[in-house]
Chain A
Amino acid sequence: MEKIKNYMKPGSISDEETFENLVEELWKLHWDRNPVYKESTLHLFGQIEAQGWRSTPCMPISRFKENKAITIGTEKMPPKGELFQSSGTTQGDKSTHYLPYTDLYEASIAGSFLHLVLKEFRWLPGYNVVTVSPHVPQSSLLWMMDFLREQLGSWKLMVDPTKSEDLAELELLLQDSFDLEIPLIMFGTSLAMYDLFQKNRLNRPDDQPLHHESKIITTGGWKGRNIEISQYQLEGDLSYWLGLSRFNMMREYSMSEMSSQLYAYAAEVPEYKSMPWLRYRVVDPLTQKDVKEGEHGAIAFYDLANAYSCPFILTEDEGSIGPNGGLILHGRLGGAVEKGCSISVGDALGNKHRGLG
């Protein structure tokens, strides 16, 4: 794990060869000590010899629904671990992701956010940080938000859009950003942001723009809620209300089964980028071979930060590779049950209706 941590350090040399070597080591480790991964691989491809990361088989993400703890073998449970749970329509649809240690998760959150969002190599003080989400137990998103608030924030606030006292405090922070020129980072689910701003629950004078280095980051989609505007429109409205440009608006994409995140600038078709320790392919889900250039397929992730659970994951999300090599998301595949942060938030906000995401 030390090698992976070194690879993830800001400014480290993240060349292809090192990544290949780390994947190879992780593959051997999981083949030997992760019975669920081994079973999955045997089930899919029989006995294989992976040659390069692109031919390393991925474990279908549905396996996280069946197994409480997909980890490399640990004789005894470490004292400090985290159990994350995704949302789902029933208990059986919920994925659980057990991380016996959170060091790689923390390193990945920090590295991805610093580099892809702030374009920095170290934490700089002086931000006000607001996360927007109701409380959802065992949410990896909230865990990540807590971590970022702790690392970044001079002033920190978690806003639950359903609580009026939170809203009053948020208004003060927004005002500070204008009056005292403090950049604000606001990170929330699309649904919570929609509820916060689109429903006009927040009184915001439109002639008081936030500091120009502020960042507004949304994650997750509408997930079946009957919302007529697009996420892109929401981002446009947010940038207008907060006096920011489109370049201040970003989107995040991850899932509870992963330890790394992708970020994209807000656009009608955003192209997500990741850090070198998270690589992706767009594949035919049956063969796990790359689809042709520009075609849609299932997204397969190679996430070194997931070394403790399973670094090689075949998702149920549809994607394609964009013109700049980034990842374009196209929703869920084949009626897969919607999952992720937004539906949990939707639940917490009292959203009863669900469709397929």
Chain B
Amino acid sequence: MWETHWVINTEGWGKMTSTYTATSANDYSPFHYSFIERVQKKCVERFSYEQYERILESRTYTTKSPLPSWGEVNFEHTTKRKYVFVGARSSPFALSKSVWIALKGHPESVTVKISSVGRDEEFFLDDIFQNRDCPTRCAIYNHPHIEDEKFQGWMKALDESTHIVVYGGEETVEYYKKRYPEKELIIHGPKFSFGVVTHDDVPRSSSRIWKDFSLTMGEGCLSPRFYFILGGKPANNHENTRYLGSHSQRDNERDFYQDHLPLGEKSNLAQGWFHCEFDLTDEIEVPDHLYGGMKFYWNEDRTEEDVIKFAEAYRGQISTVAIGSHLDLLHPLSRVGVPRVCPIGDMQTPDFTEQYDEQYDWRDFLV
């Protein structure tokens, strides 16, 4: 029971002022496979549905302790549930989790709203559910607009839902909290991400650090807001800036985006390339909004233990932690509630099967 609602209006709820973020995440980026492409490749082309299901099985049942972002859904009594997913931008998590819940939990319905320029998501979900014996009634709304008749369908789904899974910023979250106080809300935003590196990692991984930051220019939950530099003193600000803006990296970006972006977004990109500072102080600021910048914090006395304490203090507010050489942090961070730990360079492109970070392929951490 699968239906896709095509809504042409692209001025919908999603504040899609930037095709850069959407298109680079989905279509244009030469540096990443977009989430959808990767899921399609891995789950549809390379694997049969049976294999795909086995991956889900293994990920579901072999993990000793499900991580917070995935563990809050109890599948014992889900058949009467009606899930609504409010996705933001290209919403990879909203998509992957909705599919996961539909396939594993067989709830009564799953409805997804996404704000995306492309339609790959619909095709992907169609692929997943078409010809499958999935009892769940599924629907996806792309840009439901208040003047469009599909909007009523979306609002009806919200009114009838039992669970609302929200991905978005503070305003979005507050809206759903106020409007649907009686429903069970599973809130995924706003959260922040950060990374942990050694001073040696910075020059070695500069292009990967930059990739994590630049895909959405720091304006996303998965973008690193800051890095802890542990150990020896890093190079001076000039040197580090030079590493991050390495010529080849910048040339690649420039050459590529020059042909793909409208003038205004090119300007934003050119102006925003610099919102990235080395702040060698001990005062850590956790930004309460998407500020589009990145800082590096270094203090000679700071240890891995301090990072773990920091993560514990912000339990429930952290989206992703990227680590460089500090492989020892993987499990401790997970134990204090960090839902995702990944190698530097992969923050923005979570793999469909990597949510259980304890299962991650260790070789990928060798950056």
Q: What total of chain B residues lie within 8 Å of the partner, measured CB to CB?
A: 30
Does B169 sit within 8 A of A, measured CB to CB? no
Q: How far, in whole Å, are A335 and B217 apart by their CA atoms in the complex?
A: 15
Cross-chain contact A296 with B263 (CB below 8 angstroms): yes
- Bound CA–CA A336/B266 (angstroms): 11
CA distance A314 to B242 in the complex (A): 20
State whether A46 touches B266 (Cβ < 8 A). Answer: no
Which partner residue on chain A sits nearest B262 by CB separation?
A334
B267 within 8 A of A: yes
Closest Cβ neighbor of A318 among chain B residues: B263
Q: Are B267 and A316 in contact (CB under 8 A)?
A: yes
Cβ of A43 within 8 Å of any chain B Cβ, yes or no, is yes
For B242, list chain A residues within 8 Å (CB): 42-43, 46
Q: How far is the CB of A50 from chain B (nearest CB, A)?
A: 16
A92 with B291: CB separation less than 8 A: yes
Closest residue on chain A to residue B257 by CB atoms: A286
- Give the contact stretch, choosing among B22-30, B97-105, B273-281, B335-343: B273-281
Set of chain B residues within 8 Å of A45, measured between Cβ atoms: 247, 250
Give the CA-CA distance A286 to B265 in the complex, in Å.
10
- The reply to whether A285 and B266 form a contact with Cβ atoms under 8 Å apart is yes
Assembly CA distance A316 to B247 (angstroms): 23
- Chain A residue nearest to B272 in the complex (CB): A62
B270 touches A286 (CB 8 A): yes
Residues in A whose Cβ lies below 8 Å from that of B17: 335
| Given A66-B274, A335-B17; A39-B267 close (CB under 8 Å) | no
Is B244 positioned at the interface, with any CB of A under 8 Å from its CB? yes
B254 touches A286 (CB 8 A): yes
What B residues does A355 contact at CB under 8 A? Answer: none
Q: Mask for A314-325, Cβ within 8 A of B = 1, else 0?
A: 101010000000
Q: Is A44 touching B258 in the complex (CB atoms < 8 A)? A: no
CB pair B274 A40 closer than 8 Å: yes
- A60/B250 in contact, CB under 8 A: no
Which residues of A are found within 8 Å of B262, using beta-carbon distances? 334
Chain A interface residue number, banded: 20 to 34
Asked if B271 lies at the interface with its beta carbon under 8 angstroms from chain A, I say yes
Nearest-neighbor residue (CB-CB) of A40 within chain B:
B274
CB of A310, distance to nearest CB on chain B (Å): 13
B268 near A286: Cβ-Cβ < 8 Å: no
Contacts of A287 in B (CB 8 A): 254, 258
What is the bound-complex CA distance between A39 and B237, given in angstroms?
9
Q: Give CA–CA (A336, B265) in the complex, Å.
A: 10
Residues on the A chain within 8 Å of B291, using CB: 92
* Complex contacts, B268 vs chain A, CB 8 Å: 333-336
- Chain A: interface secondary structure? mixed
The B interface is mostly helix, strand or loop, or mixed, namely helix
In the complex, whether B307 has a CB less than 8 A from a CB of chain A is no
Nearest opposing residue in chain B for A297, CB measure? B263
- Asked whether A42 lies within 8 Å of B238 as measured between CB atoms, the reply is yes
CB pair B274 A334 closer than 8 Å: no
CA distance A338 to B262 in the complex (A): 19
Q: Are B274 and A60 in contact (CB under 8 A)?
A: yes
A61 touches B271 (CB 8 A): yes
Most buried by A among B238, B242, B267, B272: B267
B97 nearest CB across to chain A (Å): 31
Q: Is the CB of B267 within 8 A of A46?
A: no
A285 adjacent to B241 (CB under 8 Å): no
Distance in angstroms between the alpha carbons of A336 and B258 in the assembled complex: 19
Bound together, the chains give a CA A42 to CA B267 distance in angstroms of: 18
Residues of A close to B250: CB separation below 8 A:
43-46
The interface residues of chain A lying within 8 Å CB-to-CB of B181 are none
B245, CB-defined interface residue at 8 Å = yes
Which residues of B from 146 to 173 have beta carbons under 8 Å from A?
none
Taking the complex as formed, is B187 at the interface, i.e. its CB lies under 8 A from any CB of chain A? Answer: no
Instruction: List A contacts of B270 (CB < 8 A).
Output: 44, 60, 285-286, 298, 314
Could you say which residues of chain B place their CB within 8 Å of the CB of A38?
238
Q: Is the CB of A44 within 8 A of B245?
A: yes
* Contact A43–B254 (Cβ < 8 Å): no
* Of the residues A43, A46, A316, A336, contact of B274 by C-beta under 8 Å: A43
CA distance A287 to B251 in the complex (A): 9
CB within 8 Å of B: which A84-139 residues: 92
- When distances are taken between beta carbons in the complex, the residues of chain B under 8 Å from A298 are 263, 266-267, 270
Can you name the residue of chain A whose Cβ is closest to the Cβ of B251?
Answer: A46
Q: Does A63 contact B (CB under 8 A)?
A: yes
Is B269 part of the contact surface with A, judged by Cβ < 8 Å? yes
A60 proximity list for chain B (CB < 8 A): 270-271, 273-274
**Contact present for B263 and A35 (CB under 8 Å):** no
B269 adjacent to A286 (CB under 8 Å) = yes
Cα–Cα, bound, A284→B277 (Å): 25
Docked pose: A332 CA to B247 CA in angstroms:
28
Distance of B290 from chain A, by nearest CB (Å):
12
CB neighbours (8 Å) of A285 from chain B are: 263, 266-267, 269-271
For A48, give the chain B residue with the smallest CB separation.
B247
CB neighbors of B among A257-295 (8 A): 284-287
User: Which A residues from 167 to 185 make CB contacts under 8 A with B?
Assistant: none
Bound CA span A42–B17, Å = 29
Q: How far is the CA of A8 from the CA of B267 in the complex (A)?
A: 31
A45 and B270 CA atoms in complex are apart in Å by 11
- Name the residue of chain A whose CB is nearest to the CB of B241: A39
For the complex formed, measure the closest distance between the CB of B171 and the CB atoms of chain A, giving whole angstroms: 16
B279 smallest CB distance to A (angstroms): 11
Q: A66-B277, A335-B268 are in contact. List 13 more A-B contacts (CB 8 A).
A: A35-B237, A42-B245, A43-B274, A44-B250, A66-B274, A66-B275, A92-B291, A297-B263, A316-B267, A318-B264, A334-B262, A334-B264, A336-B271
Q: List 11 A-B contacts (CB under 8 A).
A: A35-B238, A38-B238, A39-B274, A42-B238, A42-B245, A44-B250, A62-B274, A63-B274, A316-B267, A318-B267, A335-B264
